[in-house]
Amino acid sequence: MQRFLPFIVFVIVLGLARMLGSMAPESLGNLQPLGALFFCGMALFGWRGIILPAVAWLMSYPMTSIAQGHDMSAQILVPLAGFAAMVGLASFFKNSQPGRVFLGSLASAIAFYLITNILSWAFDPLYAPKSLATLGQALWTGLPQFATPTWFFFRNTMIAQGLFTAVFLFATHAVPVIHQRRSIQHAS
């Protein structure tokens, strides 16, 4: 049980971050680590690196949907397609320098935003008629019944992606080096 405790705690923390964001979407919408975790998990650790974010997302998605007043439906496929694109893009950044991983992560956030908003536009009947104008609406303002425009979610996504990617890169590259230096100093 102790072996899995960090995993369980991490999944709970990610789930709570998602819940907090869904309860205050006007201020915290999309300001969460999952996108960076999907990208960095794949870029730094391969397929085993996406297990944790996948479990956290699958466990928290029903709760956040209910908290936001949405039913469980085929809409689950929209963010799933966005995360799949992030993971696919991350596979091109395996064994890359941290700076490249960081830029790739930002590019994956842009891809996620475009994919999820274009799919929402394509499948949501409220975006009618299907035209460049309603596509622009989906990418910039969203539907009129929602107070928070979609550009706000994009901004928060980019902030979160940059911040959490930097934290993950620091944790995977700098922390082991610091620990190794301390071990060498103690051995001397």
pLDDT digits (tens, 9 = 90+) for 35-63: 988 999 899 889 988 988 888 788 777 77
Structure tokens at 90: 């991350």
Rounded-to-integer distance, Cα 56 and Cα 164, Å: 16
Rounded-to-integer distance, Cα 129 and Cα 186, Å: 69
Q: How many domains does the chain have?
A: 1
Q: Which of 7-21, 145-159, 170-184 has the highest mean pLDDT?
A: 145-159
Structure tokens at 56: 């956290």
| Percent of the chain scoring above 90 in pLDDT | 39
Could you report the per-residue pLDDT of 78-137, keeping only the tens digit for each? 888 999 999 999 999 998 999 999 999 999 999 999 999 999 999 989 999 999 999 999
Beta-carbon-side half-sphere exposure of residue 165 (alpha carbons within 13 Å): 28
Predicted pLDDT of residue 179? 45
Q: Look at residue 19 and tell me whether its pLDDT is greater than 90.
A: no
Rounded-to-integer distance, Cα 100 and Cα 109, Å: 14
Q: Report the amino acid identity of residue 142.
A: G
- Mean pLDDT over residues 166-176, rounded? 76
Lowest mean pLDDT among 27-31, 73-77, 94-98: 27-31
Rounded-to-integer distance, Cα 149 and Cα 141, Å: 4
Structure tokens at 4: 């899995």
Q: Report the amino acid identity of residue 55.
A: V
**Structural domain harbouring 123:** 5-187
Structure tokens at 54: 């996948």
CB contact at 8 A, 42 and 91: yes
Predicted pLDDT of residue 30? 72
